[in-house]
Amino acid sequence: MNWMERRDAPTDKELKAAITPKPSTFSGSTFPTEISNIRVTGDPEFIETIAGLFKPILDLENPHTRVEINLQQIQDRDSDALTDNYALYLSVAERG
């Protein structure tokens, strides 16, 4: 909690500058890398609300990088039934 309380809200410029894009030749898991990925899960109201915080990232869509956005309904692993929750995945990748 203390760590989070000491964080200032980034400016749009700081948010965009902090992102490390996925190289165009990259394959495999991004988890152990410095590549920036955002995953948010929750009900539709939460997803729609939180997504607004990431709008500055859309400015990174250009001839050199592309913004990857994936919004999907979450499927229960045990029953395979769709839940009422969603997952928003957001990242930036270099164009090949």
Can you read off the two tokens belonging to residue 75? 């499927």
Burial class (CB in 10 A: 0-12, 13-18, 19+), 63: exposed
pTM, whole model, 2 decimals? 0.88
Task: Print the domain residue range for 6.
Answer: 2-94
Tell me the CATH number at 33: 3.30.110
* Number of compact structural domains in the chain: 1
pLDDT in tens, 43-95: 999 999 999 999 999 999 999 999 999 999 999 999 999 999 999 999 999 99
Neighbouring CB atoms inside 10 A of 76's CB total 10
